[in-house]
């Protein structure tokens, strides 16, 4: 004998039919299936559930939106898979922020293990964007045995992205830089700035922007001056995740 085992994951409620299987002139009977509406248990009762959030629902082109997934597990799980976010509506750069956080939380009388994961989303055009539901697939330890694979989904999220703002009057060449905060620092060696002709000085310029990728930062330089030669080094670009 030979046995094939399939796992079916219905995507919507309704009446369905598994068609008959034909082998060597023999045919099985079709199998009807009734899929009911899913019942969603509230936090504190559900074995597994999601919380998803964005730090802003309105943003601008190239500005960072932080999308955070919190997956609550109230039972032991096996063969797990957590899908990264998929954004619909236009081109969006997606980068994971740091490592996943793992901690315990109590809701009502029940303890959960929480897996938290954050992403930086940078839309490249204006319009309405939809973050598709986060999806978690796993087998659960239920009634002393491992269940068949089950799929859990979060609610989708929508963000409204506004177009690039025009440069202000008097600054027609201003560059669009939608950061939450910008710091520019300069360090001079020697600190007193007193030099003899031909003596070199080291100037270190540091531009820090919160809420942007390093490749979004403009190049900074020292303007040419009479009697001064400038030898710039290659910039050191870094992107860091802040807690």
Over the chain (243 residues), the average pLDDT of each successive run of 10 is 81 90 91 84 88 94 95 92 92 90 93 95 94 93 84 93 92 89 89 79 90 86 82 86 69
Is the Cβ–Cβ distance between 159 and 129 less than 8 Å? yes
Using an 8 Å Cβ cutoff, are 40 and 104 in contact?
no
Query: Residue 243: its pLDDT value, please?
Result: 62
pTM of the model: 0.77
The pLDDT value given to residue 173? 87
The span from the CA of 68 to the CA of 71, in Å, is 10
């Amino acid at each position: 004998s030979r046995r094939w085992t399939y796992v079916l994951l219905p995507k919507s409620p309704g009446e369905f039919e598994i068609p008959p299987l034909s082998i060597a002139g023999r045919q099985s009977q079709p199998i009807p299936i009734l899929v009911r509406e899913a019942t969603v248990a509230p936090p504190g009762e559900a074995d597994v559930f999601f919380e998803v959030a964005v730090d802003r629902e309105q943003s601008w082109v190239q500005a960072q939106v932080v999308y955070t997934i919190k997956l609550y597990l109230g039972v032991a799980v096996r063969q797990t898979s957590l899908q990264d976010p998929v954004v619909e509506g236009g081109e969006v750069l997606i980068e994971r922020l740091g490592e996943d956080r793992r901690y315990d939380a109590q809701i009502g009388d029940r303890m959960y293990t929480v897996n938290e994961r954050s992403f930086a989303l940078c839309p490249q055009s204006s319009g309405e964007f939809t973050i598709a539901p986060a999806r978690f697939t796993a087998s659960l330890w239920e009634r002393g045995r491992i269940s068949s694979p089950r799929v859990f989904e979060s609610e989708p999220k929508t963000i409204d992205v506004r177009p690039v703002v025009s440069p202000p009057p008097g600054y027609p060449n201003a560059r669009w830089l939608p950061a939450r905060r910008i710091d520019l620092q300069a360090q001079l060696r020697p600190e007193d700035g007193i030099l003899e002709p031909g003596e070199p000085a080291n100037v270190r310029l540091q531009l820090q922007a919160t809420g942007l990728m390093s490749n979004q930062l403009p190049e900074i330089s020292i303007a040419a001056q009479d009697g001064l030669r400038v030898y710039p080094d290659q910039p050191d670009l870094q992107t860091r995740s802040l807690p």
